[in-house]
Amino acid sequence: MRTTAAVLYEIGKPGPYGETKPLAVDDVELEGPGPGEVLVEIAAAGLCHSDLSVIDGARPRPMPMVLGHEASGVVRECGSGAGEFKPGDHVVFSYMPSCGRCVYCASGRPALCEKGAASNAAGTLLCGAVRFKDRKGRALNHHLGVSAFSRYTVAAQESLVRIDKDFPLERAALFGCAVMTGVGAVANTARVEAGAPVAVFGMGGVGLSAVLGARLCGAHPVVAIDVLDAKLEQAKRMGATHTVKAGGENVVEAVKAATGGGAQYAFEAVGNEKVMAQAYAATRRGGTTVAVGLAHPSKQFSVQAVSLVGEERTVKGSYMGSCVPRRDLPRFLELYRAGKLPADLLLSRTIELGKINAAFDALQAGEAVRQVIRFA
């Protein structure tokens, strides 16, 4: 079938993207679903910094590629063996397909699935296949098994979570990455206790979701750190009790003052090794620092080694919020319904697919948290 998709043909084009147009909105060919796969009509797809990291080369992926990984949609066709779904089902995508059989999946850590990680790195679906082709018949790689910047996409059934049909699909898309990653980092990776002081560095979609997660867990105080005043104001609306503007004052000392000596849990949601060092320094003795943002592969992070032992500090990574998507996504959606997880506050605006390049300029400049492409 023919579909319209935003295709990245080469990485590293300079900005502004509204002028250089690294993403080409093209008509492409999409094969039908193979065994265990599902054809999905995309309803909404969010623009995330992880997509931007592929565009600018910070997160290298095989080219060319149909980008997009945070999305919701409606099942239109199921391949043989994809009996978990049926046409008409509403779904949210998980950007790490889990095979269900490797040691990580078997131990309840599907975010670390070996087969899923290998297929994502290769730009294929879980089975190793590629279903997109350009008009000349050349393969177009898949982004994290999703490729949501397309009117239609094919995904492994392991990349999908069924949701209730009465849940707004535009809102549901936000849960596929921002909410799952940010809230999951707080609730699953760190297991923040009620009353624990928390600091979150970086108020993008994931960082703001971590603020929501901290509020949900009953953390206090919750300190938000960012370079932009508008994002700090947004953080207050989402549950931050204190804000610190980065770059203007001694951030570490300001966080320590707000938390009575240092955060028990600090979350780095920027993907910057210098910010990671600040987050570590801002924790108290016995504190935990959680890295959520994806730094460039060449960057290194160092700490005073003796403090890990003498102060019993912990440094942890959190990928996909350490979530089990089919367990956690329905739970988070119900918390939204109950008014305890107001993820719709993340939504800055909806856009058309044709305006995607300029929208990435806005994301890079910090002018928007989550912009969502509406297909239906």
Report yes or no on 334 lying in a domain.
no
101 and 208 share one domain: no
pLDDT of residue 247: 85
Distance CA 351, CA 268 (A): 28
232 and 262 share one domain: yes
pLDDT of residue 267: 98
19 and 152 share one domain: yes
Report yes or no on 7 lying in a domain.
yes
Distance CA 115, CA 41 (A): 25
Report yes or no on 240 lying in a domain.
yes
pLDDT of residue 316: 97
Report yes or no on 331 lying in a domain.
no
Percent of the chain's residues with pLDDT above 90: 98
222 and 353 share one domain: no
CATH number at residue 230: 3.40.50.720
In this model, does residue 137 exceed pLDDT 80? yes
Distance CA 176, CA 101 (A): 23
pLDDT of residue 121: 97
Report yes or no on 272 lying in a domain.
yes
pLDDT of residue 318: 98
Amino acid type, 128: G
303 and 211 share one domain: yes
19 and 151 share one domain: yes
Q: What are the distances in angstroms from CA 55 to CA 8, 142, 293, 348, 357?
A: 7, 14, 16, 21, 10
149 and 207 share one domain: no
277 and 357 share one domain: no
243 and 203 share one domain: yes
pLDDT of residue 249: 73
Residues 89-92: contacts with CB within 8 Å, 24+ apart? 89/162, 90/162, 90/163, 90/164, 90/165, 90/167, 90/169, 90/172, 91/38, 91/40, 91/160, 91/161, 91/162, 91/163, 92/160, 92/161, 92/163, 92/172, 92/173, 92/175, 92/176, 92/329
pLDDT tens digit sequence for 232-279: 999 999 999 999 999 877 999 999 999 999 999 999 999 999 999 999
In this model, does residue 292 exceed pLDDT 90? yes
Question: Can you give the length of the chain in residues?
Answer: 376
pLDDT of residue 41: 98
In this model, does residue 376 exceed pLDDT 80? no
Report field, pTM of the whole predicted structure over 0.95: yes
pLDDT tens digit sequence for 301-334: 999 999 999 999 999 999 999 999 999 999 999 9
Report yes or no on 330 lying in a domain.
no
Distance CA 11, CA 80 (A): 35
pLDDT of residue 347: 97
102 and 184 share one domain: no
pLDDT tens digit sequence for 2-35: 999 999 999 999 999 999 999 999 999 999 999 9
Residue 189: give the domain boundaries.
178-320
86 and 208 share one domain: no
Distance CA 71, CA 142 (A): 14
45 and 136 share one domain: yes
pLDDT tens digit sequence for 348-365: 999 999 999 999 999 999
Report yes or no on 53 lying in a domain.
yes
For tokens 């995904």, what's the residue? 155
Report yes or no on 325 lying in a domain.
no
In this model, does residue 281 exceed pLDDT 80? yes
CATH number at residue 82: 3.90.180.10
Give the helix/strand (H/E) hosting 18.
helix 17-20
Mean pLDDT, the chain, whole residue set: 97
pLDDT tens digit sequence for 59-112: 999 999 999 999 999 999 999 999 999 999 999 999 999 999 999 999 999 999
Distance CA 353, CA 213 (A): 30
Distance CA 158, CA 288 (A): 32
Q: How many domains does the chain have?
A: 2
